[in-house]
């Protein structure tokens, strides 16, 4: 069971990693924000799985914080960070 | 009994993982932000639900089970809110939808 | 027990508390905060001096936990000397700052380099910095050093940006970046050492006798990080602007005290922890120091801004501190006590002399509202005390007798001769001459007979007194070195 | 290859990839989002190295507070550095 | 023979403080507080003379005054009033008094007098200190201090020439100071002590074992001292420094700076290496040769100088080396001749500079070619000038003659026959550049118009200028005529030689 | 390779990455990002190399250190970003001018 759960966690993490491609690609802020959302949901799943696999009940609390945080971050980003559609700051080189 | 539970957990977790994959695939492949929002909120939360359920079966005590389910519910509620916010902001911000009409700003 | 542990805690707490008080704003809150910090620092240094003299090296474990869990304090003669120096310079600067910011409260235009922000936030930031500095000198373990170092760096960078000009902002930002990266390098070194030995207390590490690949890498990382913070050549690029644009009392603190904080840690690492490291290492440090002496002095000669000149001179003078290392650990020999006493004495007397110069320069520039060196011509008889302070400080810097700088130079020279390192002796002599050259560049203008053109604004007397007091102490340091050197030798190498 | 090692490999790989991308990108918003993601991944890493308490702190401070700080910087910067080409939607 | 007079140990310190306290006090006065400033000055100067008188008496009776203060572990600030020290101290104390008076008159009404007199006093403080230095460390301390306190005086006028002179002065003296410090530190490490001790502290055996090393050490210290003593290759600052006001020139040339250098050479040979070790090392030969060359060189350069002060400056370069020459020859007679010239040259040269200053201040005459007929307008001044100049030339029984006599005899005793022609040549050259000046002043007609600043009552100039001129000139006469008495400079020097050299 | 070793190397890698970026990127905000990443690299190294006692047992010292470190890092980030914004407000650009740009105005 533990092996299976750890494998699942790894799989889910890989899933998140794949999802990050969208953050990089954009193009709109909302697309990038999806990452936070994805991370919130999948991260909670991973933590719950790990809590079971590593027999570390404290991780369930962490999962709760993750869930909360993802919300807060998303809301804050939407409310405050929404300035332009594709902000690109040119670098001085 | 244990074996049944374990099998059930395997099943549910795999099912959840599948939905996560589906969600990610959607995020990556769907044509515009509005579609992607669907993918990430619906599929992923469903996936999380299955995983949570599967894990709840294995949880050591009732408190843990309640916590797991509460977490899920919280994520669910949050997803709904955030998704709505994101969608609305995108719309107001003028992000075009594929096949949709011209969006006013 | 002579209450040394209580004083140690107070030395960190009181300035911090003072910072909170001063943050409440208003002249009296600021004065009370500064007085609190100054009084406790002075008393605490004296108390610890007495304790160390009586009991030798002091060790306290705060919170009742021993190493490595609790916060470990370790106080020897070197620590106390640095604490006392900080208290002395800090007290004078605090006094000066109340005068410096007195009339400048409501201005905040771009042209005036000291506005309301400075008046409001200087005292809290400086007190926070003071607490962190005291913390550095008291710390007995590496992680504590990291935390205090970081607080010090943040507060110091903020002091730079108290002036509202774009130059100040940019210089402060550059300083902050260097400082943060330096801290990170230091922290990485700490992590490597911990990974290797599982302890953080300086004495335990010293007992472990760090050697081998990883610890040496750690030493290299920490040294580079600290050297950047100490502005050792060639990592000094940030210093001249940062020290020159800060408000005068801030410049004094930065040049006199803050760079000494990170230098102190370098000394702890090389001298205590690694016992000199390798000869190649100390020679490298010395060569960098020598390069700093020459380069910094030559740059001084090219400056037109008074404060920038003094700032470059800090680069040069810090070089001397690093020249101490090859002298302290001669090839194949035992640690040379003269080099130790001379190097540390130089750190102390430089702090006093340099702060006197910056404070005096501050008075002069406030008086003529200009910072160009030629603009101060004729200030000699308008601000005789400031001029005298500047002159005496300059002489102390150049190592002209009777001054602390002379004693330091004498000791360093003696150690160079004793260990047969003639090249360093030549360097010390040449560096001294260059110092004289740039100090005179300023004094010459100040001596000139021309009347100050227009807009001569008198400065509060306490500003002049603070500067002159420090200058006189820098001279006194040259006439009575016995006690101070005895203190420095307590717990020092070979002592 | 044990599943645990795979998991650690994925976490480490994700950390490095996120860090690299966020450091090279020129889009400040993207970097900020990536930084939050990085913080959350780091929290998972803390879990894996046996420090779940730190995971909480990291998620709240490292990802949350620091993220908010960067976001604030992003917002102020995009207002002050360049003239917005579009009208402000808010 | 350490201090036996109870409570008088601190007398050397008190002598130093008599000028230090006024120096610092004056710094805080305002420019217009003239009376207070003058009071400070004169009180200090008179007090110093009185205290030095006390010490002279004590030392003559056989006491030595010592005051020590530990600065560093193993290093002391030590002031010792012994016979040799007092030779120099009395000279500077006495001449300081007259120079102060002269300076008050000379600078009347000019700006920045507060600064001037402050540093003037500090300069004498440094001189007194180094005269009484009991060890090399203390000597170096005051030697450097002397440089710094003199600089503001040299640049006092603030003119371009003055600033340039000041820069030149500093480059020379500070480099010398740095060299001296390195040498002193090396000496301390090498020998283990830096105390000035009669007969020297260098171990003869050690010096024999590694003569090259000790010669190098000697060379470093000599280079450090030699710059202020204006020995040949490093004399360049002195003629330029005449851009300073006349009282400062007087101070530089007679009382303080060059004397400090010369005195340093004396200490170096007498009290550090010891003349015997110096002799075996060949170090004293080097000094003697350098000094001999400088004597002739300075005189030659003085020939044909039209600027009076410049002429006097080159004359100083020449005359000063008599001192070094004397102490480098190892017979008592020569030693006495050299040491006594410290005083003789001081008194004579200060008279000459005073006179030059009076001429410049009263008539604005600065060049020899402008001096035609000044003797008729200023008979007293020119008489004093003539006395001093003839003394320089070595006309018996004036002081210069005594110095040269002793030097010559001493050299012959030592078998250094070459010294005699050098002395003769120097005297002839002295005559060749001084006599034309006197001739012009007395015999030539007035050729240029003077800017006459007027008389002071029946006197030819301000009494504060004339009184010092007259008194030093009288001194010159007395010192020469009464050279045989035991309390004359010559007598005192013989006491020193008897006590310390043999 | 053990799992902990993996994290140690990741820590070193992150530190190097951050160091590289802080040197290469001129944009101030990215410099702050980079410093944060350097810090987290060090924390990873600290936590993944148990030097004391039983490796299976969690060592509280580095955990306490990292906790402190995180707090310090947040404070430093706040200060640094605040200053960066002031640089922008003063100079209009989020970069540090080359040394000398401002001096030459004299």
**Contact F48/D49, CB-based, under 8 Å?**
yes
Q: Is A17 a member of any domain?
A: yes
d(CA F99, CA C173): 12
Shortest CB distance from C172 goes to which of F35, F83, F103? F83
Q: How many domains does chain C have?
A: 1
According to DSSP, the residues that pair with C297 across neighbouring strands are: none
Do residues F3 and D8 make contact, with C-beta atoms less than 8 angstroms apart? yes
State whether residue A32 sits within 8 Å of chain B by CB. no
Handedness of CA E211, E214, E216, E219 (dihedral sign): negative
ipTM of this complex? 0.85
Reported as type and span, the H/E element at residue C71 is: strand C71-75
Q: Which residue has the tokens 């940030």?
A: C238
Q: What's residue C352's pLDDT?
A: 94
Residue of D nearest to B93 (CA): D89
**Cβ separation of F30 and D48 shorter than 8 Å?**
no
Among candidate residues A38, A55, A46, the one with its CA nearest the CA of residue A9: A46
Q: Which residues in chain A are closer than 8 Å to D4, comparing Cβ atoms?
A: 3, 6
Element (H, E) at E55: helix E34-60
β-strands E65-72, E75-81 pairing: antiparallel
Residue F18 at interface with chain D, using a CB cutoff of 8 Å: yes
Give the H/E segment covering residue E81. strand E75-81
Q: Is residue C364 included in any domain, yes or no?
A: yes
**Structure confidence at residue C182 (pLDDT):** 94
Report chain D residues touching chain B, CB-CB < 8 A: 86-87, 89
Distance from CA of D89 to the nearest CA of B (A): 6
CB contact under 8 A, A21 and B28: yes
- Rg (C-alpha) for chain A, rounded Å, is 16
A83 touches chain D (CB under 8 A): yes
Judge whether C225 lies within some domain. no
Pairing of strands E75-81, C58-62: unpaired
Interface with chain E: mutation pick from C401, C447, C464, C489, highest number of E CBs within 10 Å: C401
CB contact under 8 Å between F15 and C184, yes or no, is yes
Q: Which of E365, E374, E315, E366 is nearest to E345 (CA)?
A: E315
Position C106 scores a pLDDT of: 38
Asked whether A and F share 3 or more beta-carbon pairs under 8 angstroms, the answer is: yes
Please report, rounded to a whole number, the percentage of residues in chain D having pLDDT higher than 70.
Answer: 87
Are chains A and B in contact at 3+ CB pairs closer than 8 Å? yes
Interface contact flag, F106 C174, Cβ < 8 Å: no
Nearest CA in chain B to D88: B93
Q: Which domain holds residue A37?
A: 2-80
pLDDT of residue D85: 40
Residue A86 domain-assigned? no
pLDDT digits (tens, 9 = 90+) for C253-294: 999 999 999 999 999 999 988 887 788 889 999 999 999 999
- Kindly calculate the radius of gyration of chain C based on its CA atoms and give it in whole angstroms: 21
In chain D, which residue's Cα lies nearest the Cα of B90? D89
- In this structure, the dihedral spanned by the alpha carbons of residues E449, E453, E459 and E465, taken in order and rounded to 10 degrees, is -110
Predicted pLDDT at D80: 65
Is residue A5 scored above 90 in pLDDT?
no
What pLDDT sits at residue A85? 42
Q: What is the largest CA-CA distance in chain C?
A: 66
Q: Which residues of D9-23 are buried (b: 16+ CB within 10 A; e: fewer)?
A: bbbbbbbbbbbbbbb
For residue B99, give how far its alpha carbon lies from the nearest alpha carbon of chain A (Å): 17
DSSP assignment, residue F98? Answer: P
C218: tokens are 């750690």
**pLDDT band, very low/low/confident/very high, at A21 (cuts 50, 70, 90):** confident
Whose structure tokens read 């472990």?
C208
Q: What is the 3-state secondary structure (H, E, C) of E297-354?
A: HHHHHHCCCCEHHHHHHHHHHHHHHHHHHHHHCCCHHHHHHHHHHHHHHHHHHHHHHH
Residue of F3, F6, F23, F27 to mutate when probing chain A, most A C-beta within 10 A: F27
Per residue in C193-239, pLDDT (tens digit) is: 988 888 888 888 888 877 788 889 999 999 999 999 999 988 888 88
Strand-pairing partners, residue E307, are E367
Q: State how many domains chain A has.
A: 1
Q: Give Cα separations from C61 to C64, C138, C201, C261, F67 (angstroms).
A: 6, 11, 11, 22, 20
Checking if the pLDDT of C382 tops 50, the result is yes
Q: C90 pLDDT exceeds 90?
A: yes
pLDDT of residue F52: 54
Query: Over the stretch C53-68, which tens digit does the pLDDT of each residue have?
Result: 888 888 888 765 554 5
Residue at A87 is within a domain: no
Tell me whether residue B76 is exposed, middle or buried, using C-beta atoms within 10 angstroms of its C-beta: 0 to 12, 13 to 18, 19 or more: middle
Say whether E72 and C485 touch across the interface (CB within 8 A): yes
The predicted-structure confidence for B49-70, as pLDDT tens digits, reads as follows 998 888 888 888 888 888 888 8
* E476 in Cβ contact with E348 (< 8 Å): yes
A83 vs B93, residue with greater confidence? B93
Task: Enumerate residues 6+ apart whose C-beta is below 8 A from C211.
Answer: none
C373 in contact with chain F, both atoms CB, cutoff 8 A: no
Find all residues with CB under 8 Å of E205, minimum gap 6, and list them: none
Smallest CA–CA distance from E163 into chain C, residue: C444
- Residues 6 or more apart whose CB falls under 8 angstroms from that of C28 comprise none
| C218 touches C171 (CB < 8 A) | no
Contact pairs from chain A to chain F, CB under 8 Å: 10
Q: How many CB atoms lie within 10 A of CB C334?
A: 10
Residues C421, C424, C430, CA angle at the centre, nearest 5°? Answer: 145
pLDDT of residue C151: 93
Helix (H) or strand (E) holding E408: helix E399-414
Residue written as token pair 């260059």: C434
Least confident of C254-263, C437-446, D9-18, E3-12: E3-12
B77 has a pLDDT exceeding 90: no
- DSSP letter, residue E251: I
- Cβ distance D20 to F17 less than 8 Å, yes or no, reads yes
Q: Which structural domain, as residue segments, surrounds residue C416?
A: 286-495
pLDDT at site F71: 92
Give the residue with greater pLDDT, C163 vs E66.
Answer: E66
Distance separating alpha carbons of residues C216 and C198, to the nearest angstrom = 16
Task: Identify the CA nearest to C412 among candidates E72, D64, E124, B104.
Answer: E72
If you count them, how many residues does chain C have? 495
Q: Count contacts between A and D (CB, < 8 Å).
A: 141
> Half-sphere exposure of residue E138, counting CA atoms within 13 Å on the CB side?
30
Q: Print pLDDT tens along chain E (502 aa).
A: 444 444 677 888 888 888 898 888 888 787 778 888 888 888 999 999 999 998 888 888 888 888 888 888 778 888 888 888 888 999 989 888 888 888 888 887 777 788 888 888 999 999 999 999 988 999 998 998 898 888 888 888 878 888 888 888 888 998 999 999 999 999 998 888 888 888 888 888 888 888 888 889 999 999 999 888 888 888 888 888 877 888 888 887 777 888 899 899 888 888 888 888 888 888 888 888 889 999 999 999 888 788 888 898 898 888 888 988 888 888 888 888 888 998 899 999 999 999 998 888 888 888 888 888 888 888 889 999 999 999 999 888 888 888 999 999 989 988 888 889 999 999 999 999 999 999 888 888 877 777 776 666 677 878 888 889 999 999 898 988 887 777 788 888 888 888 775 5
Kindly state the tokens that stand for E482. Answer: 């009464």
CB within 8 Å: D86 and B89: no
E69 forms bridges with which residues in the sheet?
A: E77
Locate the chain F residue with the closest alpha carbon to A91: F27
CATH number of F3-50+58-91: 1.10.287.3510
Q: What angle do CA E437, E442, E448 make, to 5 degrees?
A: 75
8 A C-beta contact, residue C133 and residue C75: no
| Residues C112-124, mean pLDDT to the nearest whole number | 69
Residue C358: inside a domain? yes
- Picking from D15, D23, D42, the nearest residue to F30 by CB comes out as D23
Q: How many CB atoms lie within 10 A of CB C301?
A: 12
- Measured from the Cβ of residue C354, the count of other Cβ atoms closer than 10 Å reads 30
Residue E249: which of E172, E161, E383, E349 has the closest Cα? E349
């Amino acid at each position: 069971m533990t092996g299976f759960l750890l494998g699942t966690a790894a799989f889910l993490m890989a899933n998140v990693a794949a999802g990050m491609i969208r953050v990089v690609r954009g193009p709109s802020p909302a697309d990038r924000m999806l990452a936070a959302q994805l991370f919130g949901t999948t991260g909670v799943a991973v933590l719950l799985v790990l809590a079971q696999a590593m027999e570390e009940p404290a991780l369930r609390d962490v999962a709760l914080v993750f869930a909360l945080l993802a919300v807060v971050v998303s809301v804050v980003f939407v409310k405050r960070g929404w300035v332009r559609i594709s902000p690109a700051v040119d670098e001085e080189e | 009994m244990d074996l049944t539970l374990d099998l059930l957990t395997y099943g549910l977790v795999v099912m959840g993982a599948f939905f996560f994959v589906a969600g990610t695939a959607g995020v990556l492949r769907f044509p515009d932000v509005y579609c992607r929002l669907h993918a990430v909120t619906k599929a992923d939360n469903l996936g999380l639900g299955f995983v949570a359920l599967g894990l709840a079966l294995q949880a050591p005590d009732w408190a843990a089970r309640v916590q797991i389910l509460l977490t899920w519910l919280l994520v669910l509620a949050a997803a709904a809110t955030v998704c709505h916010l994101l969608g609305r902001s995108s719309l107001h911000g003028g992000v075009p939808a594929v096949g949709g009409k011209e969006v006013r700003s | 027990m002579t209450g040394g542990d209580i004083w140690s805690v107070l030395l960190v707490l009181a300035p911090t508390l003072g910072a909170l008080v001063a943050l409440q704003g208003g002249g009296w809150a600021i004065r009370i905060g500064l007085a609190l910090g100054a009084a406790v620092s002075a008393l605490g240094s004296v108390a610890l001096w007495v304790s160390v003299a009586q009991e030798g090296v002091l060790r306290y474990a705060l919170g009742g936990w021993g190493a490595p869990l609790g916060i470990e304090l370790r106080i020897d003669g070197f620590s106390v000397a640095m604490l006392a120096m900080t208290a002395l310079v800090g007290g004078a600067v605090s006094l000066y700052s109340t005068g410096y910011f007195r009339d400048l409260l409501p201005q905040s235009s771009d042209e005036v380099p000291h506005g309301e922000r400075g008046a409001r936030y200087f005292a809290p930031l400086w007190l926070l910095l003071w607490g962190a500095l005291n913390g550095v000198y008291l710390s007995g373990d590496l992680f504590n050093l990291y935390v205090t170092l970081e607080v010090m760096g943040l507060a110091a960078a903020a002091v730079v940006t108290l002036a509202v000009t774009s130059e100040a902002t940019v210089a402060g930002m550059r300083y902050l970046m260097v400082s943060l990266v330096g801290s990170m390098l230091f922290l990485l070194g700490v992590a490597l050492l911990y990974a290797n030995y599982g302890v953080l207390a300086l004495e335990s590490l010293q007992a472990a006798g760090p050697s081998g690949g990883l610890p040496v890498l750690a030493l290299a990382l920490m040294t580079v990080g600290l050297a950047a913070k100490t502005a050792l050549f060639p990592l000094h690029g940030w210093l001249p602007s940062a020290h020159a644009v800060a408000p005068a009392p801030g410049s004094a603190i930065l040049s006199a005290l803050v760079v000494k904080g990170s230098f102190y840690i370098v000394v702890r690492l090389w001298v205590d922890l690694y016992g000199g490291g390798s000869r190649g290492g100390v020679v490298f440090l010395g060569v960098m120091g020598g390069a700093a002496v020459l380069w910094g002095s030559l740059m001084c000669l090219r400056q037109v801004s008074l404060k920038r000149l003094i700032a470059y001179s800090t680069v040069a003078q810090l070089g001397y501190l690093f020249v101490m290392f090859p002298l302290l650990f001669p090839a194949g020999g035992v640690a040379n006590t003269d080099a130790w006493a001379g190097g540390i004495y130089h750190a102390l007397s430089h702090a006093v002399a340099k702060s006197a110069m910056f404070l005096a320069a501050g008075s002069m520039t406030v008086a003529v509202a200009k910072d160009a060196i030629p603009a101060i011509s004729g200030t000699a008889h308008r601000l005789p005390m400031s001029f005298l302070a500047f002159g005496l400080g300059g002489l102390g810097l150049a190592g002209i007798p009777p001054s602390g700088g002379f004693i330091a130079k004498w000791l360093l020279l003696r150690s160079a001769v004793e260990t047969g390192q003639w090249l360093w002796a030549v360097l010390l002599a040449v560096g001294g001459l260059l110092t004289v050259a740039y100090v005179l560049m300023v004094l010459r203008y100040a001596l000139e007979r021309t009347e100050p053109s227009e807009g001569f604004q008198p400065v509060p007397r306490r500003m002049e007194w603070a500067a002159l007091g420090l200058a006189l102490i820098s001279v006194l340091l040259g006439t009575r070195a016995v006690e101070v050197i005895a203190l420095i030798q307590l717990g020092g190498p070979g002592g | 290859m044990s599943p645990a090692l795979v998991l650690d490999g994925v976490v480490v790989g994700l950390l490095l990839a996120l860090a690299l991308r966020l450091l090279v990108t020129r889009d400040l918003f993207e970097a900020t989002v990536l930084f939050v993601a990085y913080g959350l991944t780091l929290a998972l890493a803390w879990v894996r190295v046996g420090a779940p308490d730190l995971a909480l702190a990291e998620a709240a401070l490292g990802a949350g507070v620091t993220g908010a700080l960067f976001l604030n910087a992003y917002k102020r910067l995009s207002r002050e550095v360049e003239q917005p080409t579009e009208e402000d939607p808010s | 023979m350490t201090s036996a007079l109870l409570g008088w140990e601190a007398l050397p310190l008190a002598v130093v403080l008599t000028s230090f306290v006024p120096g610092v006090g004056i710094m805080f006065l305002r420019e217009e507080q003239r009376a207070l400033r003058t009071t400070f000055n004169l009180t200090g100067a008179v007090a110093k003379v009185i205290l030095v008188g006390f010490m002279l008496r004590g030392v003559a009776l056989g006491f030595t005054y010592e005051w020590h203060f530990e600065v560093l572990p193993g290093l002391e600030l030590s002031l010792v009033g012994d016979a040799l020290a007092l030779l120099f101290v009395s000279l500077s104390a006495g001449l300081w008094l007259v120079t102060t008076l002269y300076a008050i008159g000379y600078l009347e009404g000019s700006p920045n007098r507060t600064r001037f007199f402050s540093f003037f006093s500090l300069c004498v403080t440094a001189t007194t200190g180094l005269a009484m230095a009991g060890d090399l460390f203390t000597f170096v301390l005051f030697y450097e201090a002397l440089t710094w306190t003199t600089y503001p005086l040299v640049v006092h006028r603030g003119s371009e020439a003055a600033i340039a002179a000041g820069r030149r002065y500093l480059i020379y003296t500070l480099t010398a100071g740095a060299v001296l410090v390195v040498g002193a530190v090396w000496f301390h490490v090498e020998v283990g002590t830096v105390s000035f001790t009669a007969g020297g502290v260098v171990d003869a055996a050690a010096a024999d074992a590694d003569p090259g090393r000790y010669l190098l050490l000697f060379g470093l210290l000599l280079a450090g001292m030699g710059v202020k003593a204006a020995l040949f290759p490093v004399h360049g600052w002195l003629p330029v420094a005449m851009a300073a006001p006349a009282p400062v020139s007087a101070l530089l040339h007679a009382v303080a700076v060059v004397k400090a250098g010369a005195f340093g050479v004396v200490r170096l040979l007498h009290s550090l290496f010891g003349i015997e070790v110096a002799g075996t090392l060949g170090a004293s030969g080097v000094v003697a040769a350098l000094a001999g060359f400088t004597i002739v060189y300075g005189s030659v350069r003085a020939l044909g100088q039209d600027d009076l002060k410049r002429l006097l400056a080159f004359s100083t370069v020449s005359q000063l080396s008599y001192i070094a020459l004397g102490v480098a020859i190892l017979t008592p007679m020569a030693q006495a001749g050299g040491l006594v010239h410290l005083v003789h040259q001081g008194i004579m040269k200060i008279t000459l500079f005073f006179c030059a200053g009076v001429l410049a201040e009263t008539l604005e005459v600065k060049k020899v070619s402008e001096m035609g007929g000044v003797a008729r307008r200023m008979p007293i001044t020119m008489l004093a000038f003539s006395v001093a100049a003839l003394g320089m030339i070595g006309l018996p029984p004036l002081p210069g003659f005594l110095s040269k006599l002793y030097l010559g005899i001493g050299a012959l005793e030592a078998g250094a026959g070459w010294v005699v022609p050098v002395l003769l040549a120097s005297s002839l050259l002295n005559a060749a550049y001084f006599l034309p000046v006197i001739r012009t002043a007395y015999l030539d007609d007035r050729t240029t118009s003077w800017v006459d600043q007027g008389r002071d009552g029946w006197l030819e100039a301000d009494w504060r200028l004339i009184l010092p001129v007259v008194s030093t000139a009288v001194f010159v006469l007395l010192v020469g005529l009464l050279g045989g008495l035991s309390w004359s400079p010559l007598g005192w020097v013989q006491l020193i030689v008897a006590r310390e050299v043999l | 390779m053990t799992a902990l070793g993996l994290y140690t190397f990741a820590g070193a890698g992150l530190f190097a990455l951050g160091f590289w970026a802080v040197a290469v990127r001129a944009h101030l905000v990215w410099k702050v990002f980079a410093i944060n990443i350097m810090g987290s690299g060090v924390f990873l190294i600290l936590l993944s190399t148990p030097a004391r006692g039983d490796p299976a047992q969690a060592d509280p010292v580095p955990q306490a250190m990292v906790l402190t470190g995180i707090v310090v890092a947040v404070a430093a980030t706040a200060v640094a970003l605040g200053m960066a914004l002031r640089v922008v407000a003063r100079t209009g650009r989020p970069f540090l001018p080359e040394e000398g740009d401002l001096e030459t105005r004299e």
